[in-house]
Structure 1
Amino acid sequence: MDTLYWIFIGIAFAISFVALFYPILPGVLFLAAGFLIYGFAFSFEPFTPLFISVQILLFLSLFVVDYVGNAYAVKKKGGSKAALWGSTIGLIAGPFIIPVAGILIGPFLGAVLAELIFQKKGFKSAVSIGIGTVLAFIGTTLVKIVTQALMIGYFYYQVL
């Protein structure tokens, strides 16, 4: 039975990484699910107050990095809130409309179209903002990969 629990924990952690590329999935919740599966199946004893505090800070940082990174890139390129909303909608819809490539094309098109339609910006400016959102997505995704790996590594360090 222990092996089955570890498989479920591994699946939850794997889905948390898949969620980085399919943002409709609540990746952070799958990380927490992995921790909870361990706690209920084995023991909550390794989850010290320090462990819980560190994990909460890292959970919060995942949200902050995601939002601040994209907002900063859009602002730096001269984009509006419409571009931010457009890139977010594109990020969610893109992977489902165009599997694999949609994760990059979606936010780009969302930001570009939002700037062209709602802000009446020129094509060159809108494309620059769209590129900024894609670069921000790539950067924040790399940070989130490292953060999630640290969270999981710390979990294994505590429980093994």
Structure 2
Amino acid sequence: MDILLIALGLTCIIVGFLGSFLPVLPGPPLSWAGLLLLHFTTKVDYSIQFLVITAIVVIIVSIMDYYIPIWGTKKYGGTVYGQKGATVGLIVGIFTGPWGIILGPFVGAVVGELIHDNRDFQKALKSGFGAFLGFLAGTLMKIIICIVFAYYFISAWITG
């Protein structure tokens, strides 16, 4: 049974890492599930405090991931149209491959701002840049969390 739990846990860690930059996969929650699966083996016994703290971190990061691109758009002068455009751009970008995922929020925010006010292209670009920075910040945050979880998984598995 331990081998199955370890294999499933390792799969969750790997898929969770991929989910850090692929919006269709919940990266940090999957990585946390990998830690939880390893906890249920006879080899590793994480403390309840560790599991609760890491779960809280996952919840906070997951919530922040939705708001950081919106905040980035606002911070750079974007309106609600730019924010909605960034969201639509991200969703459309999922279906167009890696470049779509990266550039989707930017293009969406620019288009959203131009729909709102097509006279101010500079403002639209600034809003798109804010959405792009927000997307990058959220992605980086998720990648860091997944790397930390992978470290805890591997170190506990090896030493456990």
Instruction: Give the TM-score normalised by the residue count of structure 1.
Output: 0.82
Identity of aligned residues (%): 32
Specify the code of the residue in structure 2 equivalent to 1:141: T
SS class of match (1:101): helix
Shift in CA distance, 93/21, structure 1 to aligned 2, threshold 3 Å: farther
| Partner residue, 2:15 | 15
The one-character-per-residue Cα deviations of 1:97-136 (angstroms, maximum 9, x if unpaired) are 2x12111221111111111113556111111111111122
Q: Residue 30 of structure 1 aligns with which residue? A: 30
* Aligned residue number for residue 131 of structure 2: 133
Aligned to 1:147: 145
The residue identity in structure 1 corresponding to 2:37 is I
Matches within 5 A, 1:71-150: 71-97=70-96, 99-120=97-118, 122-150=120-148
Secondary structure in 2 matching 1:78 = coil
Q: Quote the offset at 1:82 in angstroms.
A: 2.4
Aligned partner of 2:52 in structure 1 is: 53
Kindly provide the amino acid, as one letter, of the partner of residue 102 in structure 1.
G
- The number of equivalent residue pairs is 158
1:128 aligned partner, one-letter code: K
- Could you tell me which runs of 5 or more consecutive residues in structure 2 were left unpaired when the two chains were aligned: none
Q: More displaced, 26-35 or 122-131?
A: 26-35
Distance 2:45 2:117 in 1: 52
Q: Secondary structure at the match of 2:98?
A: coil
Larger RCO, structure (CA 8 Å, separation 6 or more): 2
Pairwise CA distance, 1:61: 2.7
Unaligned runs of 5+ in 1: none
- Taking a change above 3 Å as real, the CA distance of residues 45 and 8 of structure 1, as seen in their structure-2 partners, is closer
